[in-house]
């Protein structure tokens, strides 16, 4: 036994002696073609996650008296990344000296993105949206984030049949979802309840009717202020929806104003549905109501720069920074994506009710989401640079 060990040890020594010459031989006989400069996996990652893109408006189309459709192309000529129907992009521009950005759900389909075309249906509500509705021109350029968001169908989580409820400009993600269904990229059965005051305020009606005729979606229009044959009337109640679907066997997708969410929540409460059965698209966190709002000083660190800006207690820290022309990172503006995640260095604050999307560790180690945080005293934060 001892003898055998010695033999093996001796052979190992011989092999070790040959190690360097063997390696030289292998290197000499290897191919001398240069290593590739581009790898497929990196190219794919770049195509799917381009970060922020410079985009240009290529067409404008009025949808209703309060909504305009904007069509964009990428200035570098690349395709937009493929996305999940229902997701949003954040559009950023400079209006009257302020850097402003807002998230908008995409109304075009993921396949149209591959043809360097992406559309947004923007309602005239708020500073930036009003600018996009009234003043923007073909050829104007903006920055746009890559598509993001969790408001999309998930086979493992959601029921085969989905009931979508849209109010106002909330129709846009559902148009994309119906198109994606038609193009064969999604397999759900979709019923869409689209509520509006009257027929004139139904955006994308011709497109929705065409998609319905092709079997991609069943659309039920619900008018609250006008009576017309072929339409449902009133509000999108549980009783109305139950005429078209078994409400215990569907997943709800809701996109519209907060009042619509509150109404539907009340309507669905008696059904005792599991939480995952109702999906809501997040809305931007805007100003809050405060009588005689105080103005504090917000000190912002971004890398080696320090800015001092006024911050009102009725506006978010993000809004205060943007008003002062500071480019702060943001996407959802609703507390959920974590993209604006910043280190808190001092000062009291409150977080908008129901919007605190921070993880427990973030709360413990002093991080805030400026898009949903309102100052209650002078504050100091360290913000990551916008890409």
Residues that bind ligand FES (CB under 6 A): 330-333, 335-340, 357, 369, 371
Q: In the bound complex, what is the minimum distance in angstroms from residue 213's beta carbon to ligand FES? A: 38
Residue with tokens 């033999």: 7
Q: What are phi and psi of 130, to 5 degrees?
A: -65, -40
Q: In the bound complex, what is the minimum distance in angstroms from residue 247's beta carbon to ligand FES? A: 31
Please give the Cα distance from 122 to 300 (Å, whole number): 31
Q: Residue 383's closest CA among 334, 312, 336, 322? A: 322
CB atoms within 10 A of CB 379: 24
Q: In the bound complex, what is the minimum distance in angstroms from residue 336's beta carbon to ligand FES? A: 6
Contact 140, 56 (CB under 8 A): yes
Nearer to ligand FES, 347 or 357 (CB): 357
Nearer to ligand FES, 69 or 314 (CB): 314
Residues with Cβ within 8 Å of residue 93, at least 6 apart in sequence: 99, 100, 101, 128, 131, 140, 142, 143
Q: Residue 90's closest CA among 330, 355, 275? A: 330
Strand arrangement, sheet containing 67-74? 98-105, 88-95, 141-144, 53-64, 67-74, 118-123
3-state secondary structure of 64: strand
382: enclosing H helix or E strand: strand 379-382
Q: What are phi and psi of 241, to 5 degrees?
A: -65, -35
Q: In the bound complex, what is the minimum distance in angstroms from residue 335's beta carbon to ligand FES? A: 5
Q: What are phi and psi of 270, to 5 degrees?
A: -65, -15
Q: In the bound complex, what is the minimum distance in angstroms from residue 58's beta carbon to ligand FES? A: 27
Please give the Cα distance from 374 to 167 (Å, whole number): 28
CA angle 205, 209, 214 (to 5 degrees): 150
Residue with tokens 């005239």: 124
Q: In the bound complex, what is the minimum distance in angstroms from residue 112's beta carbon to ligand FES? A: 25
Nearer to ligand FES, 256 or 336 (CB): 336
Point out which residues pair with 167 in neighbouring strands: 195
Q: Residue 318's closest CA among 101, 95, 145? A: 101
Q: In the bound complex, what is the minimum distance in angstroms from residue 136's beta carbon to ligand FES? A: 23
Residues with Cβ within 8 Å of residue 330, at least 6 apart in sequence: 90, 101, 318, 339, 340, 370, 371
Q: In the bound complex, what is the minimum distance in angstroms from residue 251's beta carbon to ligand FES? A: 24
Residue with tokens 């509500």: 125
Q: What is the DSSP string of 220-234?
A: EEEESS---TTSEES
Nearer to ligand FES, 173 or 336 (CB): 336
Q: In the bound complex, what is the minimum distance in angstroms from residue 138's beta carbon to ligand FES? A: 29
Nearer to ligand FES, 84 or 355 (CB): 355
Nearer to ligand FES, 39 or 365 (CB): 365
Q: In the bound complex, what is the minimum distance in angstroms from residue 148's beta carbon to ligand FES? A: 9
């Amino acid at each position: 036994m001892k003898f055998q060990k010695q033999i093996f040890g001796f052979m190992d020594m011989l092999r070790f002696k040959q190690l360097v010459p063997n390696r030289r031989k292998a290197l000499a006989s290897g191919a001398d073609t240069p290593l590739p400069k581009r790898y497929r996996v990196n190219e794919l990652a770049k195509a799917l996650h381009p970060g922020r893109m410079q985009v240009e408006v290529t067409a404008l189309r009025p949808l209703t008296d309060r909504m305009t459709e904007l069509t964009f192309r990428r200035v570098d000529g690349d395709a937009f990344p493929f996305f999940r129907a229902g997701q949003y992009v954040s559009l950023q521009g400079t209006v009257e000296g302020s850097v402003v950005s807002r998230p908008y759900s995409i109304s075009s389909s993921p396949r149209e993105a591959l043809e360097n075309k992406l559309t947004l249906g923007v309602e005239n509500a708020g500073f930036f949206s009003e600018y996009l509705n009234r003043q923007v021109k073909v050829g104007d350029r903006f920055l746009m984030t890559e598509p993001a968001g969790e408001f999309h169908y998930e086979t493992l989580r959601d029921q085969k049949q989905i009931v979508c409820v849209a109010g106002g400009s909330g129709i846009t993600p559902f148009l994309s979802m119906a198109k994606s269904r038609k193009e064969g990229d999604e397999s759900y059965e979709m019923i869409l309840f689209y509520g509006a005051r009257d027929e004139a305020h139904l955006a994308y009606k011709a497109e929705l009717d065409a998609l319905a005729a092709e079997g991609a979606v069943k659309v039920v229009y619900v008018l609250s202020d006008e009576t017309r044959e072929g339409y449902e009337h009133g509000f999108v109640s549980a009783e109305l929806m139950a005429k078209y679907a078994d409400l215990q066997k569907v997943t709800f997708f809701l996109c519209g104003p907060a009042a619509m969410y509150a109404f539907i929540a009340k309507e669905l409460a008696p059904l005792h549905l599991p939480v995952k059965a109702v999906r809501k698209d997040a809305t931007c966190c805007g100003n809050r109501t405060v009588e005689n709002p105080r103005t504090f000083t917000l000190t912002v660190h971004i890398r080696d720069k320090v800015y001092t800006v006024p911050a009102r207690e009725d506006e978010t820290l993000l809004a205060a920074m943007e008003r002062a022309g500071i480019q702060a990172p943001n996407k959802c503006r609703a507390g959920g994506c974590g993209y604006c995640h910043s280190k808190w260095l001092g000062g009291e604050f409150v977080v908008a009710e129901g919007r605190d999307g921070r993880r427990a560790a973030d709360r413990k180690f002093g991080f805030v989401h400026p898009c949903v945080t309102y100052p209650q005293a002078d504050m100091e934060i360290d913000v990551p640079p916008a890409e």
